[in-house]
Amino acid sequence: MLESVDVFDGESQRVIRECHLAFSELVEAVPGRIRSASDLQRALQINMKLAWKIYRIANDDSLDAGMLMPGQQNVREIVRVATERGIDPGIIEKITRSMDEFDRLVSIHAGERSIFDSMISARGSDDQGETLALSQKRSAFRVNRNLRGVHAKSQLKTLILAPSQEGRCLLDMVAIQGYQELSRLRYDCPLVVSCVRISDDDRHVRRTSWEPLGSGTDHRGDTSLLGEFCSPDLPPFREVRTVDDFVMGELVGGGIGKQSAITHIDGYIARAAVPGYRDGTNKYGGMLVWVPIPCEVLVVDLVVHEDALGHLNPLVGCYSSMLSGSRLPEEMESCDRLPLKESMVYLGRGLPVLRSSDIHRHAEMYSAVFEKLSWAPEQFEVYRCRVAFPIMLSSVMIRFDLPERPSSP
């Protein structure tokens, strides 16, 4: 495997450098002073996107340039324009020869261009890799939206932790979750809109009594719904408790299309639910967010009381769905990890930092929950992870170290 990686890197660097040198000579041979892609576009009278690629390749001999190489149709356009402008035939021949070599490189090591770009992104700079990953995730969202038959503007998952009055070393846990602008494309698509469960590091399920946070005053009688932040005419809600202690929520029925899009937010609290310190079973705290529905953005908030856990440095990992049945690892496991770089940012304290442009009435929602629980929001620290176009059926795991239990005086 290592030998194969070395061959790919070596051949890629050689071929990309040859392309870089050929395009560098082309830019130098163009009449006038070429100091930008715009200068090149005006001089050759080609479209701006192609001019930008040529200029970037001419000024970059790194692996990143491999993701910018023009396709065969664009190469023919470059040859035609260069010939019309009287560019040295030797330079044109270098471009043709180096691009033929590039096509051969793609064919041998990848088979197709999109796979090659992914291979290069893993070896190139973080910026180029993240740009490509975002483009690929957006494409996956569009495909999965049509295949799955349902999609959402945004998915929300929030975990709020505070010291419990029922146990000195335990924390109360609030879970808020849901979707905004959720709509179906087909009538036969199930809408599972919530899923919660608590387990120890070793996968042992903590038997927990979930108390719904909603008012339950509407015709459905669903006491978990945060009614004022949901659509007024939601389909019937069905709660299903599985044998392995998941609490699943499903919307039954409803219309299709944009005009039938809904917002569904529910909330629960579990008293004295999770440890606030390390113990014989648990070294870590965290949350695992499953992405069952294609959405444009996932917002994950971790909100922690100032007297619980201390200041955190949460780690974020994106995994395939098989991790949802595994334990929280002692180290962020690599065997199931997706090559996506997401992070959690510390925003500060209180309601002002809880606002998000991705979630309508976000801060108001939290204000209502804090008021219901008689908690002071200014005493809570806020951490946020925002994932653009999360991959359907993947899991986003947030993990942090639990503090050591303080010594008794």
User: Which whole-number Å values give the CA distances from 282 to 87, 291, 350, 378, in the listed order?
Assistant: 69, 25, 28, 29
DSSP 176-193: EEEEEEEEESSTT--EEE
DSSP 335: T
Q: Tell me: the pLDDT tens digits for 82-138?
A: 999 999 999 999 999 999 999 999 999 999 998 898 888 767 666 667 878 888 899
Strands in 237-241's sheet, in edge-to-edge order, are: 191-196, 247-251, 237-241
User: For tokens 């870590």, what's the residue?
Assistant: 284
Residues composing the chain: 409
Give the residues across from 398 on adjacent strands: 287, 316
User: 56: pLDDT confidence band, cut at 50, 70 and 90?
Assistant: very high
- 210: β partners: 270
> What value, to the nearest 5°, has the Cα angle with vertex 34 and ends 28 and 38?
135
Q: Average of pLDDT values for 2-13?
A: 71
Report the candidate in 294, 278, 265 with the shortest Cα–Cα distance to residue 389.
294
Q: How confident is the model at residue 245 (pLDDT cuts 50, 70, 90)?
A: low
Band (324; pLDDT cuts 50, 70, 90): very low
How far apart, in whole angstroms, are the C-alpha atoms of residue 28 and residue 158?
A: 55
Cα end-to-end distance, the chain, whole Å: 56
What one-character DSSP code corresponds to residue 286? E
